[in-house]
Amino acid sequence: MPKPIIMCVDDEKVVLKSLKTQLKSAFGSTYVYELAENPADALELIDEINDEDTPIILIVSDWLMPGMKGDEFLIRVHQKFPNIVKVMLTGQADEDAIKRAFDEADLHRCLHKPWSEEELIETIKSALAL
């Protein structure tokens, strides 16, 4: 059986690299870590992965990205794949967007940039314990 996937979506490469490094450090090879630089690429990748019957168990997404905001992206993911756990990472989301993500995307948690590695890992652990 293929390893479950944790996906990170952010338009800043340095943020994606940092997330992947922190997740690999905490969870090692338990998961596959997929990265996408924008929501459009992420949605395409999710569909490809879904066709391969590999489970995406969690998505960490930025809020402010070109083309589509993180709350809208997570809502779209939730409509197709309600079992994927969703975490939003933001430096500047407005409260309405965060509330909408909780209400319409079943957001697990919203972390604020700059996040602490400990907070990120605890959030992922609590999300995967659901």
Does 84 have pLDDT greater than 70? yes
Confidence at residue 130, expressed as pLDDT on a 0 to 100 scale: 63
- CA 55, 57, 61: angle at the middle one, nearest 5? 125
What b/e sequence results for 51-66 when a residue is b if at least 16 CB atoms lie within 10 Å of its CB, and e otherwise?
Answer: eeeebbbbbbbbbbbe
CATH code (residue 33): 3.40.50.2300
**Residues above pLDDT 90, as percent of the chain:** 91
- Which one has a higher pLDDT value, 12 or 1? 12
Instruction: Report how far apart the first and last C-alpha atoms of the chain are (Å, whole number).
Output: 21
User: Could you report the per-residue pLDDT of 28-83, keeping only the tens digit for each?
Assistant: 999 999 999 999 999 999 999 998 889 999 999 999 999 999 999 999 999 999 99
The predicted model scores a pTM of 0.96
31 is in which domain, residue-wise?
5-128
For β-strands 56-62 and 5-9, DSSP reports them as: parallel
Distance CA(7)–CA(62), nearest Å, equals: 11
Closest residue by Cα to residue 8 from 129, 123, 98, 130 = 123
Please check whether residue 30 is in contact with residue 3, taking contact to mean a CB–CB distance below 8 angstroms: yes
- Count of structural domains within the chain: 1
Confidence at residue 82, expressed as pLDDT on a 0 to 100 scale: 97
